Structure 1
Amino acid sequence: MVTVIKLTSGDILTFRAGALVCPAHKHLIRGRGLSAQIFDRGGEALEAACAGQLECAVGEARLTRAYGLPVTYLIHTVTPQWSSGDQWGARALAQLGQCYESVLDLAASKGIRTVLFPALGAGTNRFPHSIASHRALEVLVPRGQDFEQLTVCLHTPAALAEWRRVERQFYS
């Protein structure tokens, strides 16, 4: 199977896929940024679905239905905080990679063939796009053959340009 890893920009909440990845709080409650937007759309039904889930540690993933969104499922994953590359930077990079691995493992186990990702960690958790993109593609490219399409939707054209630069330089 030839898999497409698509990099695009736009309003991620308007895209269709089997699952949308939601940057999550460990208790799967409404967070900031994209998480807040997803919870606003999902309303009480999403809150109730999340309340029945186990706590989610950094790098793990949980699955719920996607209430009020044009996708079937939400895959929630807790991303690490970027600490400016200090002595904890290597740990944060490993945890960010584990987020992508956990999402893909969960999607594959549930038969989800198309997954829509934001730039995990690059929003409120402050990973630079140059670093977040490299870590994401390092996981997505070799795992891509297990899926029909993996899409990364960036919030701005500048972020998209950076992800494409990294993709060309390291993964083409």
Structure 2
Amino acid sequence: MTQIDLTWGDILTLHGDALVCPAHKHLICGRGLSAQVFALGGEDLAQQCKKQPECAVGEARITSAFQLPVDYLLHTVTPQWSSGDQWGTQAIKQLRHCYESVLGLAGKKGLKHILFPALGAGTNRFPHAIAAHEALEVLNEYSSQFDQLTVCLHSPAALGEWKRVERRFFMV
């Protein structure tokens, strides 16, 4: 049975087959985790990303990881949270599609251990409870195709929120 591991710390120090990177549609250096990934990946990563087609919100692209402690980067463009206004439902669907796109690419590539940040919950400001619910629903749906899926949160408080969602909605 696949393990979905919720943890906190520096995702860039973890080992796995691939790391999921929140991305800009042109796969250029963004903010937050994206900026850290590009700093570690260096010019080789930037050059490989330039060769990729534009990536719409919810889609994903794969590149080599270069100097990072994983083999591949799975880039996905996350939606911006708009405070739950009339576009909130669309943003939630797009966030869900980010996870589906990433896992689809990972499955096609035969990757077995994927490292996820809290997609959308960083600079794009999704509330952790909403981000966790969508992520865990999709991760549970696809889990049989992988050996391990790790979600690494940036703080103990974020980890606590994700664990509360996991207990409430996904534990039998």
Structure 2 length normalisation: TM-score? 0.99
CA drift at 1:67 = 1.3
Q: Which residue of 2 aligns with 1:110?
A: 109
1:153 maps to what in 2?
152
1:134 to partner: Cα distance: 0.5
**Structure 1 residue 138, shift from structure 2 partner:** 1.1
Cα displacement string for residues 104-149 of structure 1 (whole angstroms, at most 9, x for unaligned residues): 0000000001100000000000001011000101111121011000
Residue identity opposite 1:165 in structure 2: R
One-letter amino acid of the structure 2 residue matched with residue 118 of structure 1: P
**Using the alignment, how far apart are the partners of 2:100 and 2:141 within structure 1?**
11
- Identity across matched positions, percent: 68
**Matched residue, 2:47:** 48
How many residues get paired?
Answer: 171
Structure 1: which 4+ aligned runs deviate by more than 6 Å? none
One-letter amino acid matched to 1:162: E
Displacement of 1:14 after TM fit? 0.2
Gaps of 5+ in 2: none
Q: Distance in 2 between matches of 1:10 and 1:98?
A: 25
CA distance in 2, matches of 1:51, 1:93: 28
Q: What secondary structure is seen at the aligned counterpart in 2 of 1:131? A: helix
The amino acid of 1:131's aligned partner reads I
Secondary structure of the structure 2 residue equivalent to 1:162: helix
Q: Report the residue type matching 2:11 in the other structure.
A: I
For 1:140, the equivalent position in structure 2 comes to 139
Give the RMSD, CA atoms, in angstroms: 0.4
Residue 36 of structure 1 aligns with an amino acid whose one-letter code is: A
Q: 5 Å matches for 1:18-97?
A: 18-97=17-96
Q: Which runs of 5+ in 1 are unaligned?
A: none
What amino acid is aligned across from residue 71 of structure 2 in structure 1? T
